[in-house]
Structure 1
Amino acid sequence: MRIAHVLQLATSTPLVALERDGALYDVAELERQFGTKLADIPGVSDFHTRVVALRCAGLHALDDRLLSGDRPAAAQLHLDAILWLPPCATDRAAYIQLGPYARDAALPWYRFGNSRALLGHAAAIPFPALEDEPDYELNLAALLYEDLRRAPPEEVERAIAGYTVLNDWTARSLEARSQARGLPPSEAKDFATQLGPVLVTPDELGPVEVLRTQVRVDAETRSCSRIGEWTFALPESVAYISNQVELRAGDVVGAGRVFGGSAVRRVPYGASVELMIERVGRLTGKPVRGPALLPWRRP
């Protein structure tokens, strides 16, 4: 199943949608068309409620109808009339980013990112105004729909609601300055991170370790490693995190940059950057120079 979170521009209403063969279908309208029991429950169209709290209740049945060819035209969304949102609830999610690792690393490492700066597919990415080295980082991300505390890898696997593409945008010159001062890379990363366009459930995706990846910057294609060439498997890394902190249903975990998944040359402002993970999807974004900093100290 492929689940989207979009904003219908005509009504400014966030929607849960299902994607099939490149088309998007409004879940609430599908339920009205098919007469399902969930159609009239207040709040059920909220992404966190339907996907996380209710564990995709009823969505598989709707997707089966789509797969069978029952696709009501009234439920189809026009792609030019929506804004893609990240496939999570940014007001409820913690965002944890793993790696990248040295190949001989003994333990996973992670940082907490800025979930309020999670953006969706096809977004313009406002970099810090003085940054001259915008860069991308290709990741796979997992959305959890169970709380995890001191969880073994098997429990982690059962807690993953789905996977999506993640671009951990990075301001490289700011990152270098932070590293030189022994500081965390907050300024270099917390301005924006992209997710999407859809959340793909494990039953549809199968093993993620074999998935191929690719990056396209304007017309130039750049190859990367397969997803599974991490130092640690994703369930192992999440299990390690759960020994340190309690993870909550709705949290997003980035699996760590794939090898080759960042630029070897500067990405120019205004370039179209497309990250692809086989069977998961294509996530596009465009780095733009953000507004100048306002004075933050009194004269």
Structure 2
Amino acid sequence: MLQLATSTPIVALERDGALYDVAELDRHFGTKLADIRGVSDFHTRVVALRCAGLHALDDRLLSGDRPASAHLPPATIVWLPPCATDRAAYIQLGPYAHGAERPWYRFGNSRALLGHAAEIPFPPLEDEPDYELNLAVVLGEDLRRATPEEVERAIAGYTVLNDWTARSLEARSLERGLPPSEAKDFATQLGPVLVTPDELGSVEALRTQVRVDAVARSCSRVGEWTFSLAESVAYISNHVELRAGDVIGAGRVLGGSAAQRVPYGASVELMIERIGRMTGKPVCGPALLPWRRR
């Protein structure tokens, strides 16, 4: 997240709905990491150091030792996606046809990853903004030609992902036999919380819900994929060298319907049990500037 007072990205811990600055917790509790330069950087602390010391800090919070100096009031921060967008690759798994022989995936735009509570600028003239609720993982280790077991050990954490989609633009692209890149790559939301695997158990049984302007649209469970998430990532690693910090969207859990498109300005809230909730608001983006020579 971004601390508004200093415009500095920071790592925080969430406990019982309250947020605590990890760097300040380190200082307050006198941990060995407190004086290491750069240790508060997300990629360093969460990815490279595999959340070093964070479980111990969370145990202190859980015990009731919650220093006021580390508390972060919501009005003092802006949410960032739980990844390093300048270093991460973003790969999105797709839906599978019945009887599919292998996973399907596409590369997304990691530079367009946005955080919780963001406004989502859709392409101009798009009249069918829509959401797609996903579970996502952030990798904590490099993977190349990995087994499913190696993938499971490499997962740093799980989070919520909204694969926002411009449906009209998607339909026009597919009609022309083109990939729907322009309908997806303008913005994707991630976060706000990254939950480590030891906190979750089996993710397939987790309940999900979507609310639009506080009205429930749909409920489901993450469910079973044609291939497990670990199998799908293992398959990708045969073709692509995956790096620690990369984001993998596990495929759509819930999406909108043609009869229930999301109006511009609506608050869309996606929830996955034990992982968290994320809100976003679709808005109409600016008109294209002239791009052809005259």
Q: State the TM-score bracket (shorter-chain normalisation).
A: over 0.9
Distance 1:32 1:12 in 2: 20
Aligned to 1:137: 132
Aligned match for 1:190, one of 182, 185, 189 = 185
1:14-69 alpha-carbon deviations (Å, 9 max, x no partner): 00000000000000000111011111111111000000001111111111101111
Given the alignment of the two structures, is residue 262 of structure 1 paired with residue 247 of structure 2, yes or no?
no
Given the alignment of the two structures, is residue 65 of structure 1 paired with residue 60 of structure 2, yes or no?
yes
Compared CA separation, residues 103 and 220, structure 1 to 2 (3 A): farther
Aligned match for 1:220, one of 215, 220, 225 = 215
Aligned residue pair count: 293
Distance 1:253 1:72 in 2: 35
Aligned to 2:35: 40
Given the alignment of the two structures, is residue 116 of structure 1 paired with residue 106 of structure 2, yes or no?
no
Aligned to 1:86: 81
Pairwise mapping of residues 1-299 of structure 1 onto structure 2 (< 5 A)? Answer: 6-258=1-253, 260-264=254-258, 265-299=260-294
Distance 2:70 2:135 in 1: 29
Distance 1:261 1:189 in 2: 14
Match of 1:154, SS state, is: helix
Q: What is the letter of the counterpart of residue 246 of structure 1?
A: E
Deviation at 1:226, TM superposition (A): 1.2
Deviation at 1:105, TM superposition (A): 2.0
Distance 2:98 2:116 in 1: 31
Contact 1:91–1:116 (CA<8 Å) still a contact in 2?
yes
Uncovered stretches (5+) of structure 1, i.e. residues with no partner:
1-5
Deviation at 1:223, TM superposition (A): 2.1
1:238-296 alpha-carbon deviations (Å, 9 max, x no partner): 011011111000000000001x4333421100000000001100010000000000011
Distance 1:257 1:103 in 2: 15
Compared CA separation, residues 186 and 165, structure 1 to 2 (3 A): same
Distance 1:32 1:59 in 2: 13
Deviation at 1:102, TM superposition (A): 2.1
1:141-178 alpha-carbon deviations (Å, 9 max, x no partner): 00001111111101000000000000000000111111
Distance 1:262 1:113 in 2: 20
Deviation at 1:182, TM superposition (A): 1.2
Match of 1:200, SS state, is: coil
TM-score by length of 1: 0.96
Q: What is the letter of the counterpart of residue 116 of structure 2?
A: H
Uncovered stretches (5+) of structure 2, i.e. residues with no partner:
none
Contact 1:209–1:228 (CA<8 Å) still a contact in 2?
yes
Q: Detail structure 1 runs of 4+ shifted over 4 Å in the superposition.
A: none
1:53-102 alpha-carbon deviations (Å, 9 max, x no partner): 01111111111101111110110001011100000110100000001222
Contact 1:224–1:261 (CA<8 Å) still a contact in 2?
no
Match of 2:238, SS state, is: helix
Q: What is the letter of the counterpart of residue 286 of structure 1?
A: K
TM-score by length of 2: 0.98
Match of 1:157, SS state, is: helix
Q: Structure 1 vs Structure 2: percent identity of aligned residues? A: 86
Distance 1:228 1:86 in 2: 24
Contact 1:138–1:262 (CA<8 Å) still a contact in 2?
no
Compared CA separation, residues 39 and 55, structure 1 to 2 (3 A): same
Match of 1:37, SS state, is: coil
Match of 1:24, SS state, is: strand
Contact 1:90–1:115 (CA<8 Å) still a contact in 2?
yes
Q: What is the letter of the counterpart of residue 283 of structure 1?
A: M
